[in-house]
A and B are shown apart, each in its own frame.
Chain A
Amino acid sequence: MNRCGTIFTYSVVHSGTDAFKDKTPYVVALVAENQGISLARVEGYTEGKLINVGMEVEFFAEDENGNPIYKFI
């Protein structure tokens, strides 16, 4: 079974820092997994997609700092 978490809260970023301005719009979220909550990026957002608190997302990778990146299922 794939590793999953649930969205505790989220935002769709439209105005990013220089390093991310080509990725907009993209989603950042607090994701709950195994009683812990981490800040994460959630890949696979497309304009108009409905997101809600409690939604399941699938673990995708870690970034170079060990931060989790998830993707929409």
Chain B
Amino acid sequence: MRSVSVIGIGETRIGRFPERSLRDLIQEAGEKALDDAGIGRWNVDALYTSNFNAQFLCGQGHIGPLVSEVLGLESIPALRVEGACASGSLAFRQALIAVASGMYDVVLVGGVEKMTHQPTEIVTAGIASASDMEREVALGATFPSIFAMIANRYFHEYGNVRDEMAMCAVQNHENALLNPDAQLQKRITVEQVKNGLPIAYPFTIYDCSLVSDGAAFVVLAATDVAKAVSRKRIVEVIGCGQAGDTLTLASKRSLTTFSATMNAAKQAYAMAGIKPSDINLAEVHDCFTITQIINIEDLGFFEKGKGARAVAEGKTAAKGVIPINVSGGLKAKGHPIGATGLSQIYEVVTQLRGDGGERQVRNAEVGLTHNIGGTAATCVVSIFRGR
């Protein structure tokens, strides 16, 4: 396998832009990534796109050629990857494998999602389709309620972590204050989180990630090619793992440990030849506040059952021992579903290049992204190192 590096990144601001079209979002983020890579369109060998739900929310399928047309990529191979909220990192992994294999030298990966033009019930139904329609949604389960059941089980097994969950939201909002691409720039308190609009007990609206529009793109190249063309710090992809799990909540072996995360992380750490304590910062999939606590345990940053305490002690804050979601995460930067995995990579690459500005993490050499789809039924973990 060849070494592969990220040579370009681009994203739109994440937010509520009901007036912006899919084309518009694609054009802005795609052109930014190509410009950032400093390469011409004729250098791109293939296009991997990710999108979760445009067919339902916008009536638009066939995203591959749409992106190709908007960016003037003409006849190169283009395809779309779908894996619910993990779509972006799944497309990234497919592109990575294609370049590592020697099939292509330079590949563009792009994700897009447009959600906020639809009313809440439609968005809720769209997101629910990431779970099982016959066995879960038909009974009245919503996506938040599925993770709320995980939270209540976590409370039963490890103790009530309601306050610490709220602190995850508070910290992510705090981090987003310094991210110009973030959807919400608003400081919140633990009390506000706990007393917010109830969505699915024990979650209030503040425990849930955002409904967002946005796009994020990444340019991957064989590291040898990257060295020849790149004017920026090259960020090498040193590890990547993917694992799956059953679709439904009821069929999972454990609700408080996500086996897809455990297995994907194990692969990624082994490929990179490093351990969790070598990671300087991580963007983890905080679709709900409980998920952030479970993720930092499953990724090996903290022992099982100790994640909540680590959050309360500030260990995951921007200046903590392992800064988590310095971008603001899905909670405050936003969650344009098909673009989210690539938006996480955007942040880690920005940090490893030292371009984080006010939110720059000190000594950022190795960063990790963790992206899950559905009820942790799909997971991709990727590890990056600045060269």
Chain A residues at the B interface, C-beta cutoff of 8 Å? 8-21, 23, 25-26, 28-30, 37-41, 53, 63-65, 67, 69
**CB-based nearest A residue for B136:** A39
17 extra interchain contacts, Cβ-Cβ under 8 A, other than A11-B149, A15-B199, A17-B137?
A9-B149, A12-B200, A13-B145, A14-B199, A15-B200, A16-B124, A16-B140, A17-B124, A19-B140, A28-B145, A28-B149, A38-B250, A39-B249, A39-B250, A41-B140, A65-B138, A67-B138
Chain B residues at the A interface, C-beta cutoff of 8 Å? 120-122, 124-125, 128, 134-142, 144-146, 148-150, 152-153, 156, 197-203, 248-250, 255
**CB-based nearest B residue for A32:** B250
* Distance A30 CA – B135 CA, assembled complex (angstroms): 12
Q: Which of A20, A23, A25 has the most CB of B within 10 A?
A: A20
Instruction: Give every chain B residue within 8 A of A19 (Cβ-Cβ).
Output: 140
**CB-based nearest A residue for B202:** A11
- Find out whether the CB atom of B156 lies under 8 angstroms from the CB atom of A39: no
* Distance A9 CA – B200 CA, assembled complex (angstroms): 13
**CB-based nearest B residue for A39:** B250
**CB-based nearest B residue for A14:** B198
* Distance A32 CA – B108 CA, assembled complex (angstroms): 47
22 contacts between A and B (CB under 8 A): A9-B149, A9-B150, A9-B156, A10-B152, A11-B145, A11-B149, A11-B203, A12-B200, A15-B142, A16-B140, A17-B137, A25-B198, A28-B139, A29-B149, A30-B255, A39-B139, A39-B250, A53-B152, A53-B153, A53-B156, A67-B134, A67-B138
* Distance A72 CA – B146 CA, assembled complex (angstroms): 20
* Distance A25 CA – B200 CA, assembled complex (angstroms): 9
- Find out whether the CB atom of A15 lies under 8 angstroms from the CB atom of B135: no
Instruction: Give every chain A residue within 8 A of B255 (Cβ-Cβ).
Output: 9, 30
Instruction: Give every chain B residue within 8 A of A14 (Cβ-Cβ).
Output: 197-201
